[in-house]
């Protein structure tokens, strides 16, 4: 075989391989999407009760405690990691 024939066969093999991978990935995406829709249809997520989504805002006392803890942690970190 000549070099040109080898090059043509190599390019043809590369095209077949890339085509196979493209088709496989396309089928994979389609099947995954269909499975997701099927699962969503037959097993829907349960509705969340309204009381679970109603969260209270933190009280000012909790905010002050949180700020004190964060400030202490930052101060301790800076004291230990001086240059």
What tens digit of pLDDT does each residue of 43-80 get? Answer: 888 877 766 555 666 666 778 888 889 999 999 999 99
What tens digit of pLDDT does each residue of 1-48 get? Answer: 799 999 999 999 999 999 999 999 999 999 999 999 999 898 888 877
Residue 54: per-residue pLDDT: 55
Distance between CA atoms of residues 26 and 49, nearest Å: 39
DSSP 43: S
SS3 sequence of the chain: CCHHHHHHHHHHHHHHHHHHHHHHHHHHHHHHHHHHHHHHHHCCCCCCCHHHHCCCCCCHHHHHHHHHHHHHHHHHHHHHCCC
Distance between CA atoms of residues 60 and 54, nearest Å: 19
């Amino acid at each position: 075989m000549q070099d040109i024939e080898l090059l043509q066969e190599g390019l043809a093999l590369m095209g077949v391989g890339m085509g196979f991978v493209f088709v496989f990935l396309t089928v994979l995406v389609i099947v995954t999407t269909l499975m997701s829709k099927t699962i969503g249809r037959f097993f829907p997520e349960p509705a969340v009760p309204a009381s679970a989504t109603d969260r209270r805002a933190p009280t000012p006392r909790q905010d002050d405690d949180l700020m004190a803890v964060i400030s202490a942690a930052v101060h301790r970190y800076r004291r230990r990691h001086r240059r």
